[in-house]
Structure 1
C-alpha cells in the first residue's frame, strides 16, 4: 500500500507539471481558435507561424543572441576561472563572492542597471546592447561550471608537461583543456539556455527596434493569445525534449580489442 501511494504521488507530480504543456500541444493542432472546443485536427497555425516574418525574425534574433552570447561568455568565463583558480585564498573568496552577486541579484535590478549604463555612455539600445547584456549575466554561470573541473586537476600535471618539453600553449590544450571540456560544455549549454529564456533583462536593454521570442510573446499576450503562439511553444518544447533525449541517450560501452 505504501508503494502504491509513492507511485500515485509521483504520477500526480508529473500530471501537475506536464498537463498544461500537453494541453498547449493539443491546442496547437486545433482548427478552431476556441480553447474549449475541438474543431478538428489542423496544421494551419504552424503554417501561419512559418509564414509570419515577425515571428521568424524574433526567432532568428533569439537564436543568434543566445549562440553569440553563450560563446563569448564561455571564452571569457573560462579564462576568468583559470585566473581566479590561481589566486590566493582571500582574493579568490572575494572575487567568487562578487561573481555570485549577479546570480543572487534580481533580474529587474540587473536589467535597469544595464539600461542606465548604456544610456549614460550614449549607446543606443538595440541588438548590440542585448548581446552585451546577455554576455554580462552569462559569465558567472560559466565560471561556476568551470571552477569545479579546475579543482579536480592535479596541480603537478601542467608542470610535468612543461618539464617534458611541452610549450605552455601545447601543455594547456593537451593536458588542461581536455579536463576542463565537460565543464566548458556544460557552462556553454547553461549560458545558451539562460539567454534563450531571458525576458526581463532583454526587455530593458532591447530598445524599440528588436524583438526576441520572449518579448514578442509578451507583447502578443497583452493583445490576446493567438494560436500561433501555441504552435511556437510546442516547437520549442519538442526541440528541448529532443535535445535532452539525445544528450542523455545510453552509450554502449566500447568492446576491448584482444
Structure 2
C-alpha cells in the first residue's frame, strides 16, 4: 500500500513558491505607437487629403477626376508594362547569370558573386548615370561612332525612350533576382547533377529537370520583389531624361511640384500605395513558401 503524501506535498516541494505570472505585451506598446506615428499617421493624412477637394469638405470626386484623366491612365499603363517587362527581363537574365556563376567553373566566380552583394547597395541613379556615360547622346559609344564615321551624331539615342528606362531597370534590378537564386543553387546536391550527366543527360535537360524546379521559389520571390520596386522607381525615370515616359511616381511629382495639385497628387499616391501593398502581400506569401 503506497504511503500517503503529507499535507502540502513532498517536503522537497513545500518551499517552492509558484512562478509569478509574467506580464507580456506592455513592452511592445511604445514601439508600436512610434511606428504608428511615423508610418501610419502620414498615410492617414495622405488618404484624408486625397478625399478633400479644393472647395473643402470630404468627397470621392478627386478620385473620379483623376481616374478620368488620360494622363493618369497613360501613367498607370506605362508603370505596369515597364514593371512587368523589367521583371521578366530580370528573371531571364538573372537566372542565366546565376546559373553561370554557380555551375560553370571560371576564375573569379567567387569574386563575381561577392560583387553581386555589393551591387545591391548601389543607388539606382548611379547605374543610370553609368548608362548615360556609355550610351548617352555625348556618351562613349556615340563618340566612337562619330570619330570613326565622321557623322554628326551617333546612332544610340534610345536612353530617353521607354526602352532606355527598361534597360536601366533591368540592369539595376537583375542582382535582386540573382541573390536568392545563388542562395538556392548553393543548396542543390551536386551529386544529382553528376549522376544525370554520367547517364548522358545534356545541360538543357539538367537545367530543366533538376535545377529549375529547385530555383522556382527563389525566382518567384525575387521576381515579386523586383516587380514591387519597379512600380515605385522614380530615380531611373528621372535621370534617363525620358520626357515622354510618365509613371505613377513621376506623376505624383509632377502634380505636387509642377502643378501644385496636392489633392490629385495624393490620389495618385494612394493608388500607388494600394498597388504596392497588395503586391507586397503577394511577395510575403511567396517568400514564406520559399522559406525566405
TM-score (norm. length: structure 1): 0.83
Separation in 2, partners of 1:246, 1:141: 17
Kindly indicate whether structure 1 or structure 2 has the higher relative contact order, using CA contacts under 8 Å at least 6 residues apart: 1
- Contact conserved, 1:77 with 1:142, CA < 8 A, in 2? yes
- Among residues 214, 229, 235, which one is paired with 2:249 in the alignment? 214
Q: How many residues align?
A: 245
2:211 aligned partner: 176
Matches within 5 A, 1:1-258: 3-30=25-52, 32-33=53-54, 39-40=57-58, 42-88=59-105, 91-119=108-136, 120=139, 121=142, 122=154, 123-124=156-157, 125-163=160-198, 166-223=201-258, 224-245=260-281
Higher alpha-carbon deviation: 149-158 or 14-23: 14-23
RMSD (CA atoms): 2.5
- 3-state SS of the aligned residue for 1:104? coil
Distance in 2 (alpha carbons) for counterparts of 1:244 and 1:110 = 25
SS in 1 for 2:186: helix
SS of structure 2 residue aligned to 1:227: helix
Hey, what's the Cα distance between the residues in 1 that align with 2:266 and 2:75? 16
Measure the CA separation in 2 of the matches of 1:170 and 1:53: 48
1:247 positional shift? 5.5
Instruction: List per-residue Cα deviations over 1:178-218 (Å, max 9, x = no partner).
Output: 11001111111122222222211221214222222222222
1:128-185 C-alpha deviation (Å, 9 max, x unpaired): 1111111110111111121000001111112333455655433322221111001111
CA contact (8 A) 1:62 1:213 kept: yes
Gaps of 5+ in 1: 250-258
Q: What TM-score does the superposition give when structure 2 sets the normalisation length?
A: 0.75
Task: Call closer, same or farther: CA 1:216–1:239 in 2, change over 3 Å.
Answer: closer
Q: C-alpha distance in 1, partners of 2:33/2:248?
A: 32
Q: Secondary structure at the match of 2:66?
A: helix
CA distance in 2, matches of 1:222, 1:100: 35
Cα distance in 1 between the residues matched to 2:252 and 2:77: 14
Contact 1:130 1:206 survives alignment (8 Å)? no
Distance in 1, Cα, partners of 2:278 & 2:120: 28
- Give distance in 1, aligned partners of 2:29 and 2:123: 37
Residues 71 and 247 from structure 1, CA distance in 2 versus in 1: closer, same or farther, beyond 3 angstroms? closer
Cα distance in 2 for partners of 1:116, 1:167 equals 41
- Which protein is bigger by CA-based radius of gyration? 2
Of residues 9-18 and 183-192 in structure 1, the stretch that sits farther from structure 2 once superposed is 9-18
